[in-house]
Amino acid sequence: MMVSDPIADMLTRIRNAITIRAEKVDIPASRMKLEVVKILKEEGFIRAYKILKDEKQGVLRIALKYIDGNSVVSGLKRISKPGRRVYVGGKEIPRVMGGVGIAILTTSKGVASDNTCRRESIGGEVLCYIW
C-alpha cells in the first residue's frame, strides 16, 4: 500500500491504537519513523519499541504507555505536510501546550525534539506536536 504521508500515517495509527487502548501498535518501518519513535521513547511518551523483520521493509512495533489506564499521549498533530511545509528558525521554535508537550523537528543534524533544537539554537521543519 502506497502512503502519500508516512509520518501522518504513523501518527494516525498511534492515535487509533490509543483510542482502543491497545498495548502495542505495528507500523511499517522507515529511518524517519524510527528517529521519531526514538524521541518518543526518550521523552517518555511510549514504553518501548523494536524492529521486526519481514519480507519487505520491516515493521516497527511500539509498546504504548498508560498510567492508571490513561494514555500518556493526549494528542498528536501533524504540522508540516507534503503540500505545506512548515519551517522555523532556532529562536522561533514553538512551545507545545505551555511546555507540557513536544515538537519534533527534522534539522540539518537529524531528527530532534524542540528542547534539543532550542538548546543548540537550530531550526528546521516541524514534523509534529505531541502532548
Say yes or no: 59 and 80 in one domain.
no
pLDDT band at residue 55 under the 50/70/90 scheme:
confident
Give domain status of residue 1, yes or no.
no
Indicate yes or no: pTM above 0.85.
yes
Range of 117's domain?
Answer: 76-130
- Mean pLDDT score across all residues of the chain: 96
pLDDT tens-place string over residues 59-114:
999 999 999 999 999 999 999 999 999 999 999 999 999 989 999 999 999 999 99
Say yes or no: 47 and 103 in one domain.
no
Give domain status of residue 40, yes or no.
yes
Distance, in Å, from the CA atom of 10 to the CA atom of 74, rounded to the nearest integer, reads 16
Give domain status of residue 116, yes or no.
yes
Say yes or no: 63 and 83 in one domain.
no
Q: CB–CB of 105/88 below 8 Å?
A: yes
Say yes or no: 60 and 47 in one domain.
yes
56 by Cβ neighbours in 10 Å (0-12 / 13-18 / 19+) ranks as: exposed
pLDDT tens-place string over residues 13-30:
999 999 999 999 999 999
Total domains present in the chain: 2
> What confidence score (pLDDT) does residue 1 get?
66
Asked whether the predicted pLDDT for residue 3 surpasses 90, the reply is no
Say yes or no: 11 and 64 in one domain.
yes
Say yes or no: 10 and 64 in one domain.
yes
